[in-house]
Amino acid sequence: MGKLTLRRRKKAVPLPPIPPVIEIAAAAAAVKKKAGGARLWMRMDRLGQSELMECDKSVIIKRVSIPTRDLRILGPIFSHSSSILAREKAMIVNLEYIRAIVTAEEVLLLDPLRQEVLPFVDQLRRQLPHKSSSNHVAGQMVPQDTEMQSPTGQWLRGPEAAESLQDELPFEFQVLEIALEVVCTYLDSSVAELERDAYPALDELAINVSTKNLEHVRGLKSNLTRLLARVQKVRDEIEHLLDDNEDMAQLYLTRKWIQNQQSEALSAALAPNSIISSATHLRRLSSTRSGSLVSNYLNDQDVEDLEMLLEAYFTQLDGIRNKILSVREYIDDTEDYVNIQLDNQRNELIQLQLTMTIASFAIAVETLAAGIFGMNIPCTWYSTEGIFGRVVGVMTAACVLLFILVLGYAKWKKLLGS
User: What is the per-residue DSSP string for 27-95?
Assistant: HHHHHHHHTTT-EEEEEEETTS-EEEEEE-HHHHHHHHT--HHHHHHTSGGGTT--EEEE-SS-EEEEE
Tell me how far the alpha carbon of residue 297 is from its chain's centroid.
36
Contact of 252 with 170, CB cutoff 8 Å: yes
User: CA 298 to CA 95: how far, in whole Å?
Assistant: 28
DSSP 100: E
The sign of the torsion formed by the CA atoms of 297, 298, 301, 303 equals positive
Tell me what the pLDDT averaged over the chain comes to.
77
Query: From the centroid of its chain, how far is CA 253?
Result: 27
- C-alpha distances (whole Å) from 328 to each of 173, 215, 218, 238, 322 are 34, 16, 12, 23, 10
CATH 2.40.50.140 fits 116-340, yes or no: no
Which CATH number describes the domain made up of 30-115?
2.40.128.330
Packing angle of the helix pair 253-269, 171-207 (nearest 10 deg): 170
Cβ-based burial of 369 (10 A; exposed 0-12, middle 13-18, buried ≥19) = middle
Beta strands 148-149 and 98-102 are unpaired
Answer yes or no: are the C-beta atoms of 237 and 83 closer than 8 Å.
yes
Q: Are 227 and 190 in contact (CB under 8 A)?
A: yes
CA separation for the pair 274, 268 (Å, rounded): 8
Chain-centre distance for alpha carbon 117: 14
**For 123-130, which contacts have Cβ atoms below 8 Å and span 24 or more sequence positions?**
123/178, 123/181, 123/182, 124/44, 124/48, 124/50, 124/175, 124/178, 125/44, 125/48, 125/50, 127/174, 127/178, 128/44, 128/46, 128/47, 128/48, 128/174, 128/175, 128/178, 129/47, 129/48
Classify burial at 81, counting beta carbons within 10 Å of its beta carbon; exposed 0-12, middle 13-18, buried 19 or more: middle
Using a cut of 0.85, tell me whether the model's pTM lies above it. no
Helix 304-373 to helix 211-242 angle (10° resolution) is 150
Q: What whole-number distance in Å separates Cα of residue 171 and Cα of residue 258? A: 13
Residues of the chain with pLDDT under 50: 1-13, 15-36, 134, 136-166, 275-276, 278-279, 281-298, 300
Angstrom distance (rounded) from CA 322 to CA 190: 14
Measured N-to-C along each axis, helices 288-297 and 275-285 cross at an angle, to the nearest 10 degrees, of 70
Number of DSSP helices (H) and strands (E) in the chain, helices first: 13, 8
What pLDDT is recorded for position 30?
42
CB atoms within 10 A of CB 126: 11
Single-letter amino acid, residue 3 = K
The CA angle 128-131-135, to the nearest 5 degrees, is 115
Instruction: Say which residues have a Cβ less than 8 Å from residue 245's Cβ, sequence separation at least 6.
Output: 301, 303
CB 333 within 8 A of CB 394: no
Rounded distance between C-alpha atoms, residue 153 and residue 145, angstroms: 18
C-alpha to C-alpha distance for 188 and 408, rounded to whole angstroms: 60
Q: Could you give the C-alpha distances from 133 to 1, 129, 254, 273, in angstroms and in order?
A: 108, 6, 17, 38
* Domain residue limits, the chain: 30-115, 116-340, 344-412
Closest to 254 (Cα-Cα) out of 141, 111, 154:
141
Distance separating alpha carbons of residues 160 and 142, to the nearest angstrom: 10
The single-letter code of the amino acid at 250 is Q
Q: CA 228, 230, 233, 239: dihedral to nearest 10 degrees?
A: -70
